[in-house]
Structure 1
């Protein structure tokens, strides 16, 4: 991640915290191989000027949170109520919003994909079950697990403030322990998916679809928008792709593409100040009218109505 994009990440976070950019982004935080930081929610809550029901976007980084108060998250097409002592994983590849329901207690760490490269053998966090696009991001912890997770975050904060030469290696170890704690809560079928030809094709389709997101500037444009686009890229007949996806997900290729475009549209409407034209163009619609027609079918309201605070969930 470049210095400019790193600063932009914290400029995005700063309005959600009420803290100065120089406080959030200390000068000595690592920039050479990825980026990592950790926060205490109680500390941030004291300086927040936003209402408790204000949504907080997290589209620039991977994030692991230990939430010890009630809240609600909108993840992909799901709205999930979060009870105290939950471990939550979010990826920039999937639209994610969070609405605190009360003053928050807990911690979160955020990091770029590059930060975990030394321990993932060249892979990316998206290959981990916890960060897959079709995964489930919220895991309720037992009291023992919650105490362990809290201790890990405390160790992260202590280590990040230290002058230990190899502190980032140690921080990666703490992140890996949190990842394993989450993976222990997942069903075995999620951790060990089938490796049939159909499963591989489904996985490749999801990877191609998710690789196009998130859209970070109005100049970006979705390139693969139709079932034929994906079938051609995957070198299969469109009917075969549709059958495989229908069998594995219960939905058609077109449905899956439309749902993902709708998710991104919702994220852009609520988390950016892009014009409707810029959003429509980036998502590949010929004009705002076509985008509005699509969005009404997906969200049962116009893009403009969805963008207003009154349209946000309680």
Structure 2
């Protein structure tokens, strides 16, 4: 059972994909660890059975640098950003890189499935999930489901497993569609009051900030110029003092408001370079950079390469 000292100690740690696969290979040595280069370029998606990953011990209480959707079949306690959420028999769980959490199984059976994916895997052109549950489920990420709904989501996860292991050349596009389908099916599910929740104003404010940030994307034309680029811009839009916003976001996510904004702008810059024929000056202008030289410096700092060299890279799909 997790105690408060464990939570406070682990909250600022971030589990990477490498950490996840290192833990998984202890039980499944045959699992192939994705290369860092492929994760940076095209993103990463993986889907697994929970029985091969869940153990009797609680998972580490920390943030992950990937998104995760779990179909939980079994009972347990979700420790989630100061909350203690009870899960009985079956549920869907949506988690993201912003909120620390841990799973503590309380039943002998821990079945079901889960998929995980990086931010750049879903941030492809016309494939954004920014309006979905992935960013809205900040207060309560658990959705209890019925036995009939369990069957529906099981079928979707099985299809994802089959496609992920198959040779179809456009399988990543299809997998993104399956993620969308799971999210839309989940939107029909109403969560029940089976958990204890603290009144966390910081979580709610962070959720509003993240949603406001995501609503600015994708950039659809060269006439579309980013409006909100600084912590002060977002604080003004949310009618709060910038120090209050910064404190809330840092408390909940472990990252500053500016770090989130800069990372998201870099992600969009990479998408525009990869999926449009706009020149660098046009992309820089849309993202709020007055001079292309400033954009080049920003992009190299965020992506460790220049916009020109990034665009020249041939990335397989």
TM range (shorter): 0.5 to 0.7
Question: Between Structure 1 and Structure 2, how many residues are aligned?
Answer: 209
**Residues 105 and 205 of structure 1, relative CA distance in 2, 3 Å threshold:** closer
Alignment of structure 1 residues 226-305 onto 2, 5 Å? 230=231, 232-234=232-234, 236=236, 241=240, 254=244, 258=247, 260-264=249-253
Q: Distance in 2 between matches of 1:53 and 1:204?
A: 26
Alignment of structure 1 residues 139-178 onto 2, 5 Å? 139-178=143-182
Q: Distance in 1 between matches of 2:234 and 2:59?
A: 41
Query: Which residue of 206, 227, 236 corresponds with 2:209?
Result: 206
1:43 aligns to what? 52
Q: Which runs of 5+ in 2 are unaligned?
A: 1-14, 192-204, 215-229, 255-317
RMSD of the TM alignment (CA)?
3.8
CA offset at residue 147 of structure 1?
0.1
Q: Deviations over 1:98-144 (max 9, x none)?
A: 222234111100001222233x6264x44423423644211111222
CA contact (8 A) 2:131 2:211 kept: no
Alignment of structure 1 residues 60-75 onto 2, 5 Å? 60-75=65-80
Alignment of structure 1 residues 119-134 onto 2, 5 Å? 121=126, 123=128, 125-132=129-136, 134=138
Q: Tell me the TM-score normalised to structure 2 length.
A: 0.54
Q: Does 1:59 align with 2:59?
A: no
CA contact (8 A) 1:91 1:126 kept: no
**Residues 133 and 95 of structure 1, relative CA distance in 2, 3 Å threshold:** farther
**Residues 100 and 114 of structure 1, relative CA distance in 2, 3 Å threshold:** same
2:95 aligns to what? 90
Q: Distance in 1 between matches of 2:25 and 2:106?
A: 16
Q: Tell me the TM-score normalised to structure 1 length.
A: 0.55
Q: Distance in 2 between matches of 1:158 and 1:23?
A: 16
Q: Deviations over 1:272-307 (max 9, x none)?
A: xxxxxxxxxxxxxxxxxxxxxxxxxxxxxxxxxxxx
Q: Does 1:107 align with 2:110?
A: no
Q: Which runs of 5+ in 1 are unaligned?
A: 1-6, 188-201, 212-228, 243-251, 266-314
**Residues 138 and 147 of structure 1, relative CA distance in 2, 3 Å threshold:** same
Report the secondary structure of 1:241's partner residue: coil
